[in-house]
Amino acid sequence: MSSLHSNAPAHSLSHTKRRIREAFDGRHFDDIFEEFQEKPLGVGAIAQVYKAKLKPEHAAAGDSDVQDAVSSVRQRVRKNVDKVVKSTPQRVPSSYVAIKVLHPKVERLVRRDLKIMGFFAAVIDAIPTLEWFDFPNEVSQFGEMMRLQLDLRIEAANLTMFRKKFKDRTTAWFPFPYTEHTSRQVLIEEFASGIPLAAFLEDGGGVFQREIADEGLDAFLRMLLIDNFIHADLHPGNIMVRFYQPEQIDLSFGRHKSSSSPLNSKDVTEEVLQQLRPYRHHPKEWAQQLDQIDKEGYRPQLIFIDTGLVTALNAKNRRNFLDLFKAIAEFDGYRAGNLMVERCRQPESVIDKEVFALKMQHLVLGVKSRTFALGNISISDVLNQVLSMVRGHHVRMEGDFVNVVISILLLEGIGRTLNPDLDLFKSALPILRNLGAQGGGKDLVRTAMEGDTSMLKVWVGLEARRFLQASADQVEYCVKADQLSPNV
């Protein structure tokens, strides 16, 4: 089945050219591209992807990401030195593009397969004791998910939304979509030049291991807790790593110094990748090269691609999620268990509701007893136990919740592979602080005044740890990367 990810049977080049010409209002193929690689980069079950270079008249002349770039950098200098040290130069989209083209007749094939699945789901649903699985509804939800992937304009719209939300963040970057040339069957987006995250999982992340893990987790938590707009397909194949040269800051004069304007700064990603590629599958040499790149002052940044699937909780599910999150944050596992039962799809089908709530309480109290050893808590282990209890007691969760849980399981698994000491709570602290500034802090103080200081202790402990580490870490990095007073 893994061959369906990128090695499925390819459709003809003539079909590709016909669809691309339609997306460009019938223009001749040679009038669109300066270069076009006829061999697909990858062939999936629904579409295949090519690399090409647009002619200047079709390439993006600019992007909202680079508007007022210099003034925004100066604002960050005045506002927060920590953000400046990590800031990435804004970029003009590359004229190299990735072109995704749907396979011919794929919509008809998907409809046929969904009818077959729906038939067998109905048969299974008619068997006594199996109706609680509600397979017909599952097939319906799966069908909706597949239909969303059959309109590539939706993926382009998702890219635009992600780029807007991450415009002022440094943790992740999303390719620029050429929406004016994107159709239902063709998606054209900026080519993401980077190394697949799988390379770092296989050969190791060297000196960048912790940074890559922390950046990925921070990006996901912001999608989940702040944006309510979550990339629902973040497996290693859809995450890449690029490198950039941070902006140079001269703090002794309070000025921003850079060799060039962000509007025309040189993209160094490909240069760094050329240094790394020869050492793939040679872990020792790979680690040495990463160490050299670190000494030269380059920093990693994640690229998220394939945004066809996203999760956004509706108002009801969002409220349920926040209520459940609050119950767990207050270590009230019994109430969390009751909320899961009351607000699941089929409360009447739940087996032993009281036992389920008590099991949740036992699980949450186990987490509470280790609040000062948070790095030892694997959220994926906790969620796996929750899913096991959900199955055993027939608690049917909403599909949106399950998507979020699966994403957390996958992301933390990736993160702990890179960094075994990954601390989800520490990564969530800046986001919790942000939410607190929006009013959540009042609830924390009120809860503490009522006698429950559990979360307050966690917050204070994490803040103290961050404060003690911050000065040394930032000064060390600034000296290593020659940021405080760059040599000219």
- Concatenated DSSP letters of 441-476: HHHHHHHHHTT--HHHHHHHHHHHHHHHHHHHHHHH
Judge whether 276 lies within some domain. Answer: yes
Coil vs helix vs strand at 130 = coil
Judge whether 342 lies within some domain. Answer: no
Quote the CA–CA distance of 83 and 437 in Å, as a whole number.
Answer: 18
Residue 419 vs residue 280, higher pLDDT? 280
Predicted confidence band at 476 (pLDDT cuts at 50, 70, 90)? low
Residue 349 vs residue 184, higher pLDDT? 184
Q: How many domains does the chain have?
A: 1
pLDDT exceeds cutoff 80 at 424: no
pLDDT exceeds cutoff 80 at 179: yes
Residue 161 vs residue 243, higher pLDDT? 161
Region 47-52 average pLDDT: 94
Question: Residue 209 sits in which domain range?
Answer: 60-88+151-310
pLDDT for the residue 337: 87
Judge whether 140 lies within some domain. Answer: no
pLDDT for the residue 39: 93
Tokens linked to 448? 């503490």
Tokens linked to 26? 């019938």
- Radius of gyration of the chain, Cα coordinates, nearest whole angstrom: 25
> DSSP characters for 141-155?
HHHHHHHHHT-HHHH
**Residue type present at position 31:** D
Residue 104 vs residue 221, higher pLDDT? 104
pLDDT exceeds cutoff 50 at 71: no
Summary mean pLDDT of the chain: 75
Contacts of 178 (CB under 8 A, 6+ apart): 54, 58, 60, 97, 156, 188, 189, 190
pLDDT for the residue 397: 77
Neighbours of 134 (CB within 10 A): 17
pLDDT for the residue 74: 37
- CA 162 vs. chain centroid, Å, equals 10
| pTM for the full predicted model | 0.73
pLDDT exceeds cutoff 80 at 147: yes
Quote the CA–CA distance of 265 and 187 in Å, as a whole number.
Answer: 27
Quote the CA–CA distance of 131 and 424 in Å, as a whole number.
Answer: 37
Residue 6 vs residue 70, higher pLDDT? 6
Question: Left (φ > 0), alpha (ψ -120 to 50) or beta: where does 8 sit?
Answer: beta
Strand pairing report for 299-304 and 172-173? parallel
Judge whether 202 lies within some domain. Answer: yes
pLDDT exceeds cutoff 70 at 137: yes
pLDDT for the residue 342: 85
Burial class (CB in 10 A: 0-12, 13-18, 19+), 461: middle
Predicted confidence band at 258 (pLDDT cuts at 50, 70, 90)? very low
Burial class (CB in 10 A: 0-12, 13-18, 19+), 278: exposed
Quote the CA–CA distance of 447 and 458 in Å, as a whole number.
Answer: 13
Q: Express each pLDDT in 187-207 by its tens digit.
A: 999 998 888 888 888 888 889
pLDDT exceeds cutoff 50 at 19: yes
Cα angle, residue 414 at apex, residues 413 and 415 outer, rounded to 5°: 90
Strand pairing report for 239-244 and 195-196? antiparallel
The residues that bridge with 250 in the sheet, in sequence order, are: 255
Is there a contact between 276 and 195 (Cβ–Cβ < 8 Å)?
yes
Quote the CA–CA distance of 130 and 95 in Å, as a whole number.
Answer: 54
Q: Express each pLDDT in 299-327 by its tens digit.
A: 888 999 989 888 888 777 777 776 776 67
Judge whether 183 lies within some domain. Answer: yes
Tokens linked to 356? 């389920």
Region 92-108 average pLDDT: 87
Judge whether 363 lies within some domain. Answer: no
CA distances in angstroms from 409 to 63, 87, 238, 307, 382, listed in the order given? 35, 29, 16, 19, 10
Residue 210 vs residue 379, higher pLDDT? 210
Is there a contact between 401 and 340 (Cβ–Cβ < 8 Å)?
no
Is there a contact between 156 and 174 (Cβ–Cβ < 8 Å)?
no
pLDDT exceeds cutoff 50 at 372: no
pLDDT for the residue 370: 60
Predicted confidence band at 488 (pLDDT cuts at 50, 70, 90)? very low
pLDDT for the residue 431: 61
Is there a contact between 246 and 85 (Cβ–Cβ < 8 Å)?
yes
Tokens linked to 328? 């767990």
Q: How many helices (H) and strands (E) does the chain have?
A: 19, 13
